[in-house]
């Protein structure tokens, strides 16, 4: 993805309208080089018009040796021969005027074509991001809320590229939770299993102001049936080649898509609350994950609404489920308000106790990454050899309280329960 260096928010915002979705904005040269320090595969750096000529030249000069495969595109309010000569000497590939947004966009396309050609000849190793799945067999326990907040926490202040995929394909809420209005969704990837690459998937994603990229659920519930397991696998593999973390929000069911996603999962966050039906279903789900060999040793229990005085404490939960509680999030009006305002708590109140708790979980997950990178690369990303999938689990309890038009008891869905 391109990086835009410009300290003027208004000028940066104008340029971002023509730059590819997911362009990363930095406001200082130091931040630019810190970002690049983590990535060897950016294809373009755009030097915005509010940089002084001297600053732009110095940056381009440093980039020439630090990142020779990235094209430097310099955008100026006015271009004269003096600027052009200096730019040429500093290794700038293109100089375009800020008012000519079509040319800015064309310069980026040329930069991408050049980078792709160079990459083809150097066969750079593919990135392999980690897949983090937020799962619970129960509806309404906070999966979506935790997915978006964890996604933002995993960005670690812009250090990591993170996307959230809404795999609650019938009733996904990620877009509305972030107040996004996607023009495309997973539905538009249907049929693309065999010819998918990141350029294609990128077009389907919607950027959030935080930098988080979102692959939204279909707008119509019936599209779910056409999202095959093979498509989910291909999508996740494509996203892993570009993002450091791919966060999956899921439906409260072991449906085909969720089972496939669990197959690809590195870390599974299991969300539970302090009520007996949820705990019972989480217990059943854990046993199913055991049979599947999913993310063994990489499961993290998130106890949401953990402060509620209902006669069950976290110690009892640990006893029932046979695993430690990794993180507790209390019931908080601020969380509900943040959801309703479309601005996740992690952004609106990063120092809120719940934000801190989720940040700590994100830190643990990032620690896993460091350990995994230090260790020899295991086959199947650390998962145990997977026994064949068990037969679908029939509905364990008919607790669905959704309106009839939102319910789905279709034969392919192995729902355990929903609210």
Distance CA 68, CA 118 (A): 10
Residue 72 interacting with ligand ATP (CB under 6 A): no
Q: Which residues contact residue 310 at a Cβ distance below 8 angstroms, ignoring those fewer than 6 apart?
A: 274, 275
Q: How far is the CB of 168 from ligand ATP (least distance, A)?
A: 5
Segment near Mg ion (CB under 5 A); pick from 17-25, 39-47, 142-150, 191-199: 142-150
201 binds, among ligand ATP, Mg ion, none (CB under 5 to 8 A by kind): none
Decide whether 169 or 246 has the Cβ nearer to Mg ion: 169
224 binds ligand ATP (CB under 6 A): no
Query: Counting contacts by CB under 6 A, is residue 91 touching ligand ATP?
Result: no
8-state DSSP, 384:
P
Interstrand relation of 245-250 and 130-135 (parallel, antiparallel or unpaired):
parallel
Cβ(297)–Cβ(163) under 8 Å? no
Q: What share of residues in the chain are helix, strand, coil (percent, to 5)?
A: 45, 15, 40
Report the C-alpha gap between 310 and 304 in whole angstroms: 13
3-state SS, 276-317, equals HHHHHHHHHHHHHHHHHCCCCCCEEEEEECCCCCCCCCHHHH
- Out of 339, 349, 355, 417, the residue judged to bind ligand ATP by CB under 6 A: 339
Nearer to ligand ATP, 332 or 399 (CB): 332
What's the min distance (Å) between Cβ of 169 and Mg ion? 11
Residue given tokens 């630090």 in the structure block = 66
> What's the CA gap between 186 and 196, in Å, rounded?
12
What gap in Å lies between CA 72 and CA 64, rounded to an integer? 8
CB atoms within 10 A of CB 31: 16
- Residue 349: contacted member of ligand ATP, Mg ion, none (CB under 5 to 8 Å, by partner type): none
Interface with Mg ion includes 258 (CB under 5 A)?
no
Q: Minimal distance in Å, beta carbon 146 to ligand ATP? A: 7
In whole angstroms, the minimum distance from the beta carbon of 414 to ligand ATP comes to: 15
- 144 touches ligand ATP by CB under 6 A: yes
Q: If contact means CB under 5 to 8 A according to the sort of partner, which of Mg ion, ligand ATP, none does residue 335 touch?
A: ligand ATP
Q: What whole-number distance in Å separates Cα of residue 250 and Cα of residue 154?
A: 18
Query: Is 143 near ligand ATP (CB under 6 A)?
Result: yes
What are the distances in angstroms from CA 344 to CA 23, 90, 162, 193? 21, 42, 15, 32
130 binds, among ligand ATP, Mg ion, none (CB under 5 to 8 A by kind): none
Q: Is there a contact between 276 and 140 (Cβ–Cβ < 8 Å)?
A: no
x/- map, 154-193, ligand ATP, by CB under 6 A: --------------x----x--------------------
Does the footprint of Mg ion cover residue 144 (CB under 5 A)?
Answer: yes
Asked whether position 252 contacts ligand ATP by CB under 6 A, the answer is: yes
In 10 A of CB 37, how many CB atoms?
Answer: 10
* Contact residues for ligand ATP, defined by CB under 6 A: 139-145, 168, 173, 252, 304-305, 329, 331-332, 335-336, 339
* Contact residues for Mg ion, defined by CB under 5 A: 143-144, 173
């Amino acid at each position: 993805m391109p990086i835009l260096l410009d300290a003027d928010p208004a000028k940066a915002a104008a340029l971002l309208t023509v730059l590819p979705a997911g362009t990363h904005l930095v406001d200082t040269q130091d931040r630019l080089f810190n970002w690049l320090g983590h990535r060897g595969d950016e294809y373009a750096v755009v030097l915005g018009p509010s940089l002084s000529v001297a600053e732009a030249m110095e940056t381009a000069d440093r980039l020439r040796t630090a990142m020779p495969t990235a094209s430097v595109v310099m955008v100026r309010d006015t271009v004269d021969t003096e600027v052009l000569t200096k730019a040429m000497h500093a290794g700038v590939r293109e100089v375009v005027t800020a008012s000519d947004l079509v040319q800015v966009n064309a310069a980026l396309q040329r930069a991408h074509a050049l980078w792709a050609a160079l990459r083809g000849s150097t066969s750079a190793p593919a990135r392999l991001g980690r897949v983090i799945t937020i799962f619970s067999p129960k509806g309404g326990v906070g999966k979506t809320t935790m997915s978006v907040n964890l996604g933002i926490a995993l960005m670690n202040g812009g250090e990591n590229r993170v996307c959230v995929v809404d795999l609650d394909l019938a009733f996904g809420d990620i877009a509305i939770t972030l107040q996004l209005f996607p023009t495309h969704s997973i539905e538009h990837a249907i049929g693309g299993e065999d010819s998918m690459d990141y350029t294609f998937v990128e077009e389907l994603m919607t950027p959030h102001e935080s930098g988080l990229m979102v692959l939204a659920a279909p707008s119509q519930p019936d599209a779910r049936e056409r999202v095959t397991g093979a498509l989910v696998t291909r999508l996740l593999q494509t996203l892993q080649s570009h993002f450091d973390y791919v966060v999956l929000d899921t439906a409260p069911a072991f449906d085909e898509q969720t089972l496939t996603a669990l197959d690809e999962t590195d870390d599974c966050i299991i969300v539970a609350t302090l009520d007996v039906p949820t705990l019972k279903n989480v217990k059943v789900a854990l046993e199913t994950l055991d049979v599947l060999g999913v993310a063994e040793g990489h499961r993290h229990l998130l106890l949401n609404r953990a402060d509620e005085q209902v006669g069950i404490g976290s110690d009892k939960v640990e006893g029932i489920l046979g695993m430690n509680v990794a993180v507790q999030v209390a019931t908080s009006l601020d969380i509900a308000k943040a959801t309703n305002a479309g601005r996740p708590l992690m952004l609106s109140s990063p120092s809120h106790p719940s934000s801190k708790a989720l940040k700590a979980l994100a830190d643990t997950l990032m620690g896993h990454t460091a350990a995994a990178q230090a260790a020899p690369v295991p086959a199947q990303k650390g998962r145990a050899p997977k026994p064949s999938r068990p037969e679908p689990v029939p509905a364990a309890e008919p607790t669905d309280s959704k309106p009839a038009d939102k319910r789905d008891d279709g034969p392919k869905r192995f729902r355990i329960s929903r609210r």
